[in-house]
Structure 1
Amino acid sequence: MTDSHVDVLVVGGGLGGVAGALAALRRGASVLLSEEYGWLGGQLTTQAVPPDEHPWIESFGSSASYRALRDGIREHYRRWYPLRAESARDPYLNPGGGRVSRLCAEPAVGAAVLDAMLTPWISAGRLTVLRHHRPVAAQTDGDRVTAVVLRDLQTGDERVITSRYVLDATETGEMLPLTGTEYVTGFESQADTGEPSAPRQAQPMNIQAVSVCFAVEHLAGQNHTIDKPADYAYWRDFRPDYWPGPQLGWTAPHPHTRAPRTYEFAPNPDDRPGTIIADQSRDPGADELWTFRRILARNHFRPGAYASDISMVNWPLIDYVGGPLFEVPADEADGHLAAARQQSLSLLFWMQTEAPRPDGGTGWPGLRLRPDVMGTADGLAMAPYHRESRRILAQYRVVEQDLAMSARGEAGAVAYPDSVGVGSYRIDLHPSTGGDNYIDVPAWPFQIPLRSLVPQRVRNLLAAAKNIGTTHITNGCYRLHPVEWAAGEAAGALAAFCLANRLEPQQVTGSPGSVVDFQRNLESDGIEITWPQIRPY
């Protein structure tokens, strides 16, 4: 067993973890960053989800470091890919020409750029990155975390890491039960939160669906049909009570209205991807599946470079609602993950063999998995897409009444005196393990209160991902890529600020003067903490 000591231990290498590590490093701290998988980047890379972002992301509403990530992804394509001249010149290049985001790109490119952002700190000896490591235990002394045990998933070796501060940036808040930090899961009750969209009784195991994403191309005239999945018959006929037909079908509930909506599926349209304006405030949910989450548009590149587009399958058809992947015994969680993988493979097999085509035929046998794009042997994403995590019982809990248009009217979202970042998205909750359909609530652009990162009791652990102090409802708009980055960045900056000023997080949040000093520190680092006067979507 190996021992190490650093100023800041960041557990979890998703977007919040990388942002938190960078923020602490820029302020002089030494950092160890651990990650369960071989890639960093979480929902952007291992979970293979193109970023959900607000419509103003190119101009404002993020931080300098998040813009550096986005710029780096575009530059990677310009430097290494055979782009057409007009695409290479486009300052807002969207490599996939996808409609879900102004920056749809391959997961491996996001992982490469995140690695590049961290490499200088590794070279300087200030940062250690441990891939394929997962936390398995923690030691505490009163209200402080004194050590964390990380296990190498490839060798079984363990490391004991001591640090002044611990950032929990895991996808499901794994450090919270390990350290005894108080937390909540699933739906809080209306009596607890006062939220109009909450149920009367708490439902702690009612958690949003996970999805196992995959990338496909289409090669007309070829046959790439996979072996029939073992559970195909089950998934072909599976129908949640609120679904208008079998879930493996082109008709699904509309996320906003819950009315039946029939999708279109048309691989490889001969379009001009540079003319697509990705704006979910105008095009919510998109009826056409292929281009919505397309991550490589062949018409961006020189003729003949690519035989097909590449599209990412992260559709309602693979939302797995059979049960949660955490807060259950390990064998039960493994069973749910295996079932979610079977659901995704069953969708692919259905599309290849039985899906109705516009020409009256059935199936697209030319659909081919792209394991090389996903960094896996089977073509499925390295990790399931977690939309929801354990959430700390924080000093402040963001509730629906803070930002929902129905509650706030024309006043906009609550302006927090301790804001440390901004975000914007509708409250968008996918179907859940408790049998709920979509929940959709229009919301104002919002802020991230510093107190939502800080536990009520534990003194040196900070939430740095989707585990901040939100509710099941408000997690629906705080779970997106730029917001997770912002939360992690603020947590890493707070840890370093506390180290430099010999303060604890609760001392900072309890002192208006210290909060202002910290906010100035953030703003000097290019972090936006307020919104201009804009309309929601």
Structure 2
Amino acid sequence: MKPHRTGILIVGGGVGGVAAALAALRLGQQVILTEESPWIGGQLTSQAVPPDESIWVEEAGATASYRTFRDRVRQHYREHPGITPEAAADPFLNPGAGNVGRLCHEPQVALRVLEGLLAPYLTARQLRVWTDTEPVTVDVDADRIQAVTFQHGPSGTRHVVEAAHVLDATELGELTGLSGAESVIGAEGRDETGEPHAPERADPRDQQAITWCFAVDHQPGEDHTIPRPQSYDFWRTYQAPFWPDRQLSWVYPHPITGRPVHRNLFSDPSETAQRGDFWHYRRIVAGRHYRTEVPDVTLVNWPQNDYWLGPLVGVSEEEKARHLHAARELSLSLLYWMQTEAPRVGGKGEGYPGLRLRGDLTGTDLTHGLALRPYIREARRIRALFTVTENMIGVEARGTQQGAEVFADSVGVGQYRIDLHPGTGGRGYVDVASWPFQIPLGALLPVRLHNLIAAGKTLGVTHITNGCYRLHPAEWNTGEAAGALAAFSLERAAEPAQVRENGGLLADFQALLTRLGVPLAWPDAYRLTPSPGF
């Protein structure tokens, strides 16, 4: 089998992988980008998650390339022939008018924008993108990845790629696992990290819940009820020990206080209801933005379809497949419950049969109708040269210290609460304030393998700090820094670890990131403002 050769191989075409590719391509390098699903874009597309972003995203704390992505999403909607003049003229247009973030939009729009950003490099043959492709073996010699073997699609065709630098941007850290790189899965213990919110002892099986998202619109007077899911009887009665009611109910624990919260699907169907119901929470299409009749569409990524009955990392393929199937069944059961049994607002009957799956927006119209892939919050993480712990960024953990720890090797910034969804180890939410933080270069570098770079959720964070480094802009920034690092290392004929160790190389690399539009520090006005609650 003749191998493919490239300067930079990026395994995983999600948010971090695409950002890594764009950075390396802008710096003139040859790139192969692989992705296990049919769509590149990860959280933004195949997982169908509207961006969770910094509260200051419109003004600070995002890279120039991420801003370009956001601008192009808005431009896509402005060019829609049916959009209202008012919506088109809004400089901060929120296509879905969802209240979870400033840019709630359809996943297939994000896909088109990302493909458009990469298109010129495909034309020039500087980039090759292989979808429906997953790594199966990694050849390592002398602490270097020599080659990665991939399997493509249902045909099972295999390809071997040799590259100078290999970036792991997979959703679950599959490449890191296959490479034999020292790594961590699940929760570290407080005895190791000293983090206030870590469990007392490590638990590799304690991993954040996954969520199989789906999009729905509502057609009153019509019946779009799906077939009764096979596992419905289980899910309609299931209640976790840490949950205040059955999972299929409108009651869930507040992530910060733990107190029971009641939220209806429609607390008020009018356009004034921007708080208090699920419909407006992650709405991705707002009919009011169009001159012609366009139905609202909301994205269901709610407490009710978080799946925590078993982990995906560090288990057999059979167990992993079982949990993926169960997560899909949970989401279908939630939809069926909403269509048939959910209490309606004001006690006016049960069920909303007019809820209609919109698999046409998520690439699954002819199959199950949910997102192409589940939303993954936590991956296998490298044992890094430097690991970010809660004590470096958590407001409570920092005590009287103002602001997060400052990293001299910063390659970017992020801002979000430490937000852990219920875990497969049997605990509920962990949701605590954090300071706006930096991304240290040392967190992208494994302790041993010379040419492996973390380009997404596989970076050197803990189970706890993953809770704020996992969101869209931070994952993008991590990937962009990783792609730029690989390109810089090739251009300077230096190992990635040498860039961190050599003061001159580090200064030059950080100057390069600045030229690319990557902020390396927060201005004090932001740096000293902790993430708010909700």
TM-score tier after normalising by the smaller chain length = over 0.9
Look up the match of 1:301. Answer: 290
Q: What amino acid sits opposite 2:319 in the alignment?
A: E
- Aligned 1:481-492 pairs, distance under 5 A: 481-492=472-483
2:447 matched to 1:456? yes
Q: SS at 2:426's partner residue?
A: coil
Please report how far the alpha carbon of residue 135 of structure 1 lies from its aligned counterpart in structure 2 after TM superposition. 0.4
1:392 maps to 382
Give the match for residue 367 of structure 1.
Answer: 355
1:103 Cα deviation from its structure 2 partner: 0.2
Q: What secondary structure is seen at the aligned counterpart in 2 of 1:290?
A: coil
CA deviation profile, 1:396-417 (whole Å, cap 9, x unmatched): 0000010111132352001100
| Aligned with 1:465 (options 444, 447, 456) | 456
| C-alpha contact 1:270 1:299 (8 A) present in aligned 2 | no
Q: Describe the shift of the 1:152–1:39 C-alpha distance in structure 2 as closer, same or farther (beyond 3 A).
A: same
State the partner residue of 1:321: 308
Q: Secondary structure at the match of 2:187?
A: coil
Q: Note closer, same or farther for the CA distance 1:197–1:88 as it changes in structure 2 (3 Å cut).
A: same
Q: How does 1:91-130 map to 2 (within 5 A)?
A: 91-130=91-130
1:27-54 deviations in whole A, cap 9, x for unaligned? Answer: 1110000011111100111011111001
Tell me the number of residue pairs that the alignment of Structure 1 and Structure 2 aligns. 524
> 1:444-483 CA deviation, whole Å, 9 max, x = no partner?
0000000000001100010000110000000000000000
Superposed, 1:326-475 pairs within 5 Å as: 326-360=313-347, 361-376=349-364, 377=366, 378-408=368-398, 409-475=400-466
Q: Is contact 2:34–2:129 with CA below 8 Å preserved after alignment?
A: yes
**C-alpha displacement of 1:2:** 5.0
Take 2:68 and 2:16, find their aligned partners in 1: how far apart are those partners? 15
Partner in structure 1 of residue 21 of structure 2? 21
Cα distance in structure 2, aligned partners of 1:325 and 1:394: 22
What is the DSSP-based 3-state SS (H/G/I as helix, E as strand, rest coil) of the residue aligned with 1:54?
A: coil
Distance 1:382 1:250 in 2: 26
Tell me which residue corresponds to 1:280.
Answer: none
Quote how far apart the aligned CAs of 1:263 are. 0.8
The 8 Å contact of residues 138 and 147 in structure 1, kept in 2 or not, is answered as yes
Once the two structures are TM-superposed, the CA of residue 268 in structure 1 deviates from its matched residue by 8.4
Q: CA deviation at 1:64?
A: 0.6
* Residue matched to 1:311: 298
Amino acid at match of 1:296: V
**Distance (Å, rounded) in 2 between the aligned partners of 1:288 and 1:513:** 53
**Partner SS, residue 159 of structure 1:** strand
Matched, 1:171 2:171: yes
The counterpart of 2:518, out of the listed 520, 524, 527, is 527
CA RMSD for the aligned pairs? 1.2
Q: Deviation of residue 272 (structure 1)?
A: 6.4
Cα shift at 1:287: 3.6
For each residue in 1:330-369, what CA deviation from the matched residue of structure 2 results, as whole angstroms up to 9, or x when unmatched? 1111111111111000000000000001132110000000
Look up the match of 1:291.
Answer: 280
Q: Does the Cα contact within 8 Å between 2:267 and 2:345 map onto a contact in 1? A: no
Q: Normalization by structure 1: what TM-score?
A: 0.96
Structure 1 residue 375: deviation in Å?
Answer: 0.6
2-structure distance, mates of 1:244, 1:271: 30
Within 2, Cα distance between the matches of 1:239 and 1:475? 26
Q: Deviations over 1:89-117 (max 9, x none)?
A: 00111000001110000000000000000
Contact 2:267 2:276 in 1 (8 A): no
Separation in structure 2 between the aligned mates of residue 222 and residue 203 of structure 1, nearest angstrom: 48
* Residue type at the aligned position of 1:470: V
**Cα distance, 1:220–1:267 mapped onto 2, change above 3 Å:** farther
2: distance between equivalents of 1:503 and 1:272? 57
For the residue of structure 2 that corresponds to 1:237, the secondary structure is coil
Alignment correspondent of 1:536:
530
**Over residues 62-103 of structure 1, what are the superposed CA-to-partner deviations in whole Å (9 max), with x where a residue is unaligned?**
111000000010111111351110000001110000011100
Check whether the contact 1:50–1:103 (CA below 8 A) recurs between aligned residues.
yes
Could you tell me which amino acid in structure 1 is paired with residue 371 of structure 2?
A: A
Report if the CA contact (8 A) 1:218-1:267 is conserved. Answer: no
Distance 1:175 1:149 in 2: 11
Give identity over the alignment, percent.
Answer: 51
Task: Pick one of 464, 467, 482 that aligns with 1:476.
Answer: 467
**AA in 1 matched with 2:74:** R
Q: Distance in 1 between matches of 2:481 and 2:445?
A: 11
Letter in 2 for 1:290: W
Normalising by structure 2, what TM-score? 0.97
Distance apart, 1:271 and its partner CA: 1.2
In the alignment, the residues of structure 2 paired with residue 188 and residue 375 of structure 1 have an alpha-carbon distance, to the nearest angstrom, of: 37
- Secondary structure class of the residue paired with 1:401: helix
Give the Cα–Cα distance (whole angstroms) in 2 for the partners of residues 407 and 179 of structure 1. 34
Shift of 1:509: 1.1
2:82 and 2:292 in contact (8 A); partners too: no
Residue of structure 2 aligned with 1:499, choices 487, 490, 507: 490
Q: Deviations over 1:290-319 (max 9, x none)?
A: 111000000111132x1x200000000001
CA change 1:142–1:267 in 2 (3 A) is farther
For 1:2 and 1:374, the matched residues in 2 are separated by 36
Amino acid aligned to 1:235? W
1:239-254, aligned counterparts within 5 Å? 239-254=239-254
Does the CA contact (< 8 Å) of 2:195 and 2:397 recur in 1? no
Letter in 1 for 2:283: R
SS at the partner of 2:211?
coil
* Code of the aligned partner of 1:536: P
